[in-house]
Amino acid sequence: MRELSVTDLKIISGGFGPAGAAGGAAVGAASYSGYAIGSGQGSAAGLAGAAAAGAAAGFFGGPATFPAIVAGAEVGFHAGLIGGGVEKIINDSTPADPTGLNYCGGGY
What's the mean pLDDT in 61-73?
74
Q: Whats the size of the chain, residue-wise?
A: 108
Answer whether residue 41 is part of any domain.
yes
| Residue 32 lies inside a defined structural domain of this protein | yes
- Give this prediction's pTM: 0.65
pLDDT average, residue stretch 18-26: 85
Question: Residue 105, exposed/middle/buried by CB under 10 A (0-12, 13-18, 19+)?
Answer: exposed
pLDDT at 87 over 80: yes
Indicate the number of domains in the chain. Answer: 1
Q: Is residue 47 a part of any domain in this protein?
A: yes
Confidence band of 32 (pLDDT split at 50, 70, 90):
very high
| 74 in a structural domain | yes
Residue-number span of the structural domain to which 64 is assigned: 15-89
Percent above pLDDT 70 for the chain: 71
